Amino acid sequence: MGALVIRKLLLWMPFLFGIGFIAPLTAQTMAYWNIDAPLGLSRIAFGLLFGGAWGLYANIRGRWI
């Protein structure tokens, strides 16, 4: 059971990586360069949208680019 849960988690790893790592990295990069998020979003909300979408793309397409 535990192994099955881990396998499922790993299957979704690109998406999880998108929200777990790319999202905060995007937000912190924008803060470092003093860039505001568009559409009145907070930086982390924009990061979540961007990272989540990119991770989902990687999950579906099987590649990041």
For other proteins, which is the closer residue by CB, 29 or 42? 29
Minimum separation from the CB atom of position 32 to other proteins (A)? 8
Q: How far apart are the C-alpha atoms of 30 and 22, rounded to whole Å? A: 12
Pick out residues in 32-61 that bind other proteins (CB under 8 A).
32, 58-59, 61
Provide CB contacts within 8 A for 42, sequence distance 6+: 27
For other proteins, which is the closer residue by CB, 39 or 65? 65
Q: What is the residue-wise DSSP string for 8-31?
A: HHHHTHHHHHIIIIIHHHHHHHHH
> What is the binding site for other proteins (CB under 8 A)?
3, 6-7, 9-10, 13-14, 16-17, 20-21, 23-25, 27-29, 32, 58-59, 61-64
